[in-house]
Amino acid sequence: MIKSIVIAGFGGQGVMLMGKIIAEAAMFDGLNVTWLPSYGPEMRGGTANCTVIIGDEPIGSPVVDSPDVVIAMNIPSMMKFEEILKKDGTILLNSSVIDRAPSRKDLKVYKIDANKIADTIGNAKILNMVTLGAFAKATGFIKIEAIGKALEETFANRNKKLVDLNLQAVENGMKLVTD
Amino acid sequence: MTIDKIVAQTPKSLSKVEFSYCPGCHHGIVHRLIAEVIDELGIASKTIMVAPVGCSVFAYNFFDLDGTVAAHGRAPAVATGMKRALPDRIIFTYQGDGDLASIGTAEIVHAANRGENITTIFINNAVYGMTGGQMAPTTLLGQKTTTSPYGRDAKANGYPIRMSEMLSTLDGSAYIERTMVTTPQNVIKTKAAIKKAFQVQLKGLGFSMIEVLSTCPTNWGMTPIESMKWLEDHMTKTFPLGVFVDRTKGLM
Amino acid sequence: MKMLMKGTEAIAEAAVRAGCRLYFGYPITPQSELTEYMAKRMPEVKGTFLQSESEVATVNMLYGAACTGRKVMTSTSSPGFSLMQEGISYMAGAELPAVFINVMRGGPGLGDIQPSQSDYFQSTKGGGHGDYRMIVLAPHTLQEAAGMMNEAFELAFKYRMLVTILVDGMIGQMMEPVELPKWTKPEEFAEPDWALTGANGRKPRKVTSFDLDPYELEKMNLRYQETYKKVAQNEVKYEEFKIEDAEITVVAYGTTARIVKTVVDYARKSGIKVGLFRPITLWPFPYDRLSEISKNVKNILTVEMSYGQMLEDVKLAVLGKSNVHFYGRSAGVVPTPVEILDSIKKIVR
């Protein structure tokens, strides 16, 4: 089974890191992964996206025609990627920024008020981890233990507080999705 | 007959290969001075030479040292690679004016600017020798060459470039001097300058370069004696002799 | 233990583990992370990192450092690789070993910074002047790229040749779990008997790429050709993926081959038996094996991120024994699995 996820938003919303944590967590769960960034001259402010593929078999193409899941952090990203999303696919929207619904009706839609929850926790930057938590719960692709491990790996050289803060954001995000 | 005292002999650091230079050319004198300095400093065993493209392309073979030939102008980059790989060896480049002051300007400027601990011997004869007497960046204004047949015109070709002065503005340059070898006194001065340049490297003080004004009787269309006079009368006006930077005071 | 690594970083770390302690480079997208990694890493392993003033200087620093018989490398991307061609020709002529990483981007000219495979001609046919060859390796995953670094240095020293690892921006920029190769022991690396280290009592050594006597230079050239012949006999590498029963065989390398692996699965699900032939050495190109394969398959499709460069070698191998088709995107546009599948369907139907 191979699953593909496109994560897109403004530069600075942490979409690349979100993708990396998803990929790393899946790796710690023993799966094969690829993480492919769109890269360009923009450092901040432009649009950015990455494609993550997770599979229990070797991954061929790191490029996908139609992803299983799209995480859209802003309106342009939603409009761009809902078009290519697989039939009956899943889309997670940052509803703090996206004030409308996707036009397709076959999609499973999760609206995440990521900015607001991040503010409540006390750090606006962790909106990506809130969204990641919702993604983990909604798809079941990655487990919380593996996410914790991936966060530790990523922030290895920084303080433990940062790991805890991000993990707290992930857990809050997970709570947003109910079965 | 026994020999009581050796007055002169071929320096050990020169090979047995015969020089291929034209009569009256100064390359041979400068080669000999470098070899004498290497012998006197006792560094032949750890010296590597980087020869250029130009008349002195064969220099790698005239010295009895490990050596290579760089692409045109790139000797300072090649020497940089060697020095970084083997910091305790002595690395020197030998370059002409087309090589150093034209096609290899970027390489010499950045090697000097990095304070690369190498020595460069720069032979400036105001003309491209090997390719047959074309205009060099150091060709004097009004000087006729095969590519400036009406004389070098500043409007079309710019001005003779003074590399020693230019490089001396860089903080990485430890010692830069311009000399000539037209008289025995000047030969002695040049040898002292070359020796100092190698000593700067031995001390690890940074980039050192000796520019030697030289003749090219063949391409200048003069006899060796005429060309010496022309060098003294004309070249030294555009390229004055002297020490342009010395950041070694109190360190040697 | 597997680590999630970026392609550029995996390659750099593998090079360090392969014993490379001399890196010279100049920043250029999409490989600057490799240069940055080396800037940080080399001091940690008592190695040397130097940012040059240009790629022209880089390759000549490599020349100088390679003269000393050490393992040396650089990395660059297409326009930078063009600037290095002069030095590459000189190094090939001087029989100096070194490893180059070219992370290809869209061209010609300034082009763009997206993945491309349009430096195939430049790498395999000689971008510099003269009769020379360089060994060109084309990994298709990060694991393969990392695993190749030690081999690259071994080949370089075994044959006194330049080795290029030719990847595209996608392999450079993507992340994947990588099991890093084992450390080699630098003390086991013997100094070659041609290295310039200062004569110190022995006969002085000379390393050059020239001899003005044409008969002498021809002797040198014949020696190079002997070496190239040996490499072509002994070092050809390729991968065959589901070609036994294939009605159409795709030939692709690097990232494109990887995408084609997915296409093979897609196609087989829809009833078309597709196989993949993946050259791992682009020079020497696996002419003989591809020639054999072409006897048993009606259609061969070459897919590249260029407008048909490897295609010429495929045609030379096939020599009319089967139909050769081509599908390519270039300028930084990466073909998707569905696009490639569509081009297969057009041929089969």
A36 to chain C: closest CA residue: C174
Q: Choose the closest CB to B106 out of C57, C66, C70.
A: C57
As given in the structure block, the two tokens for residue B57 are 């392309």
Three-state DSSP class for residue C98: strand
Q: How far is C91 from chain B (nearest CA, A)?
A: 10
Tens-place pLDDT, residues C263-322: 999 999 999 999 999 999 999 999 999 999 999 999 999 999 999 999 999 999 999 999
CB B24 within 8 A of CB B224: yes
Q: For the domain that residue C278 is a member of, what is the CATH number?
A: 3.40.50.920
CB nearest C197 (choices: B60, B68, B89)? B89
Residue C163 pLDDT exceeds 80: yes
Domain that holds residue C278: 238-348
Evaluate whether residue C204 is within a structural domain: no
Q: Which of residues 71 through 100 in chain C touch B, CB cutoff 8 A?
A: 72, 86-87, 90, 94
Q: Do chains B and A touch (3 or more CB pairs under 8 A)?
A: no
| Cα–Cα distance for residue pair B178/B239, rounded to 1 Å | 8
Q: What is the largest CA-CA distance in chain C?
A: 74
Q: Does A57 touch chain C (CB under 8 A)?
A: no
Cβ C198–B79 below 8 Å, yes or no? no
Nearest CA distance, B37 vs chain C (angstrom): 16
For A5, the enclosing helix (H) or strand (E) is: strand A2-10
CA A79 distance to own-chain centroid: 17
Q: Is residue C42 part of a domain?
A: yes
CATH number of A2-176: 3.40.920.10
Whether the CB-CB separation of B179 and B193 falls below 8 Å is answered with: yes
Identify whether residues C122 and C181 lie together within a single domain: yes
Checking C181-188 for CB contacts under 8 A at 24+ apart, the result is C181/C14, C181/C17, C181/C18, C181/C146, C181/C147, C181/C149, C181/C150, C182/C17, C183/C17, C184/C17, C184/C18, C184/C19, C184/C150, C185/C19, C186/C19, C186/C21
Task: Name the amino acid, one letter, at C17.
Answer: R
Using the Cβ of B14 and the Cβ atoms of chain C, whether some distance falls under 8 Å is answered with no
Token pair 């020869």 in the structure block, residue: B51
**Tokens 């063949």 -> residue:** B218
Contact between C216 and C267 (Cβ < 8 Å): no
Q: Are residues C78 and C131 in the same domain?
A: yes
Q: How many other C-beta atoms lie within 10 A of the C-beta of residue B42?
A: 8
For residues C107 and B12, what is the distance between their CA atoms, to the nearest angstrom?
53
Measured from the Cβ of residue B11, the count of other Cβ atoms closer than 10 Å reads 19
Q: Is A23 on the interface with C (CB under 8 A)?
A: yes
Per-residue tokens: C272:
């078309």
- The shortest CB-CB distance from C170 to any of A27, A32, A62 is to A62
Cβ within 8 Å of residue B66, ≥6 positions away: B47, B48, B49, C196, C197, C198, C199, C204, C205, C206
Cβ–Cβ gap B81/C207 under 8 Å? no
8 Å CB contact of C337 and A20: no
DSSP symbol at C334: P
Q: Which residues of chain B lie closer than 8 angstroms to C86, CB-CB?
A: 71
- pLDDT the model gives residue B76: 98
Quick check: A23 and C4 CB within 8 A? yes
Tell me whether C270 touches chain B (CB under 8 Å).
no
Inspect the interface and report whether the beta carbons of A35 and C175 lie closer than 8 Å: yes
Co-location of C8 and C36 in the same domain: yes
Residue A61 has its nearest CB partner, among C173, C177, C337, at: C337
CATH of the domain at C128: 3.40.50.970
C-alpha distance from A3 to closest chain C C-alpha (Å): 13
Beta-carbon separation of B81 and C198 below 8 A = no
Best of C50, C55, C60, C211 to substitute, by most chain B Cβ atoms within 10 angstroms, is C60
Which residue of C22, C67, C220 to mutate against B (max B Cβ within 10 Å)?
C67
pLDDT for the residue A45? 57
Same domain, C12 and C148: yes
Does residue C151 share a domain with residue C137? yes
- The count of other CB atoms within 10 Å of the CB of residue A35 is 28
HSE-CB for B42 with a 13 A CA cutoff: 0
Of the CA atoms within 13 Å of residue A172, those in its CB half-sphere come to: 23
CB within 8 Å of B7: residues ≥ 6 apart: none
Q: Between chain A and chain C, are at least 3 CB pairs below 8 A?
A: yes
Q: B106 CB near a chain C CB, below 8 Å?
A: yes
Instruction: Please check whether residue A40 touches C, CB under 8 A.
Output: yes
| Count of residues in chain A | 179
Measure C195 CA to nearest chain A CA, in Å. 42
Burial letters for C116-153: b for 16+ Cβ neighbours within 10 Å, e otherwise? bbbbbebbbebbbeeebbbbbbbbbbbbbbbbbbbbbb
Half-sphere exposure of B224 (CA within 13 A, CB side): 10
Residue from the list C29, C30, C174 with its beta carbon closest to the beta carbon of A36: C174
- Write down the domain spans for chain A: 2-176
In chain C, the residue whose alpha carbon lies closest to the alpha carbon of B80 is C61
Give the model's pLDDT for residue A40: 66
C66-81 pLDDT, tens per residue? 999 999 999 999 999 9
Amino acid at B97: D
Which residue out of A18, A20, A61 would a mutagenesis test of the C interface target, given it has the greatest number of C Cβ atoms within 10 Å? A61
How far apart CA B10 and CA C55 sit, in angstroms, is: 41
Residues C222 and C263 both lie in one domain: no
SS3 content of chain B, % helix, strand, coil (to 5): 40, 20, 40
Q: How many structural domains compose chain C?
A: 2
Which chain C residues have a beta carbon less than 8 Å from that of A40? 113
Report chain C residues whose CB lies below 8 A from the CB of B48.
Answer: 67, 196-198
Residue by residue, pLDDT tens for chain B (252 residues) are 678 888 888 999 999 999 999 999 999 999 999 999 999 999 999 999 999 999 999 999 999 999 999 999 999 999 999 999 999 999 999 999 999 999 999 999 999 999 999 999 999 999 999 999 999 999 999 999 999 999 999 999 999 999 999 999 999 999 999 999 999 999 999 999 999 999 999 999 999 999 999 999 999 999 999 999 999 999 999 999 999 999 999 998
User: B85 vs C64: CB contact, 8 Å cut-off?
Assistant: yes
Q: Does A44 touch chain C (CB under 8 A)?
A: no
Tens place of pLDDT per residue across chain A (179 aa)? 899 999 999 888 899 999 999 999 999 999 999 999 987 655 455 678 999 999 999 999 999 999 999 999 999 999 999 999 999 999 999 999 999 999 999 999 999 999 999 999 999 999 999 999 999 999 999 999 999 999 999 988 777 889 999 999 999 999 999 86
C130 and C266 together in one domain: no
ipTM for the predicted complex: 0.94
Determine how β-strand B127-128 pairs with β-strand B134-135: antiparallel
Quick one: CA dihedral C6, C12, C14, C16, positive or negative?
negative
- Identify the burial level of B183 via C-beta atoms within 10 angstroms of its C-beta, where 0-12 means exposed, 13-18 middle and 19 or more buried: exposed
Q: Is the dihedral of CA C108, C114, C120, C126 positive or negative?
A: positive
Annotate B221-247 with b (16+ C-beta within 10 A) or e (fewer). Answer: ebeeeebbebbeeebeebbebeebbbb
Query: From the DSSP assignment, how many helices (H) and strands (E) are in chain C?
Result: 13, 15
Closest residue in B to C209 (Cα) is: B69
Residues C249 and C195 in one domain: no
**C190 Cα to chain B: minimum distance (Å):** 15
Query: How far apart are alpha carbons B194 and B212 in whole angstroms?
Result: 10
CA-CA distance, C43 to C20, in Å (whole number)?
Answer: 12
Rounded Cα distance, A160 and A156, in Å: 8
Which pair of structure tokens corresponds to residue C54? 């240009």
C195 and C308, same domain (yes or no): no
Please tell me if residue B82 touches chain C, with a CB cutoff of 8 Å.
yes
Helical H segments across A60-179, by residue range: 75-82, 114-121, 127-139, 144-154, 160-176
Summarised one tens digit per residue, pLDDT across range C181-199 is 999 987 788 999 999 999 9
Q: For residue C34, is pLDDT > 70?
A: yes
The answer to whether residue A99 neighbours chain C at the CB level (below 8 Å) is no
Report residue B19: phi and psi, to 5°.
Answer: -60, 145
Q: What is the pLDDT of residues C74-133, one digit of tens each?
A: 999 999 999 999 999 999 999 999 999 999 999 999 999 999 999 999 999 989 999 999
Q: How far is A119 from chain C (nearest CA, A)?
A: 30
Q: Is residue C186 part of a domain?
A: yes
Query: Does C305 fall in a domain?
Result: yes
Same domain, C92 and C228: yes
Q: Does position C7 have pLDDT exceeding 90, yes or no?
A: yes
Supply B125's token pair.
């004869």
∠ CA A79-A85-A88, nearest 5°, is 120
Phi, psi of A159 (to 5 degrees): -80, 160
Q: Rounded to whole angstroms, how far apart are CA atoms B198 and A36?
A: 53
Q: Which domains does chain B have, with CATH numbers?
A: 27-246 (3.40.50.970)
Residues C190 and C253 in one domain: no
Contacts of C129 (CB under 8 A, 6+ apart): C89
Rounded CA separation A170/A146 (Å): 12
Find the closest chain C residue to A41 by CA distance: C113
Partner residue opposite C4 with nearest CB, options A24, A61, A62: A24
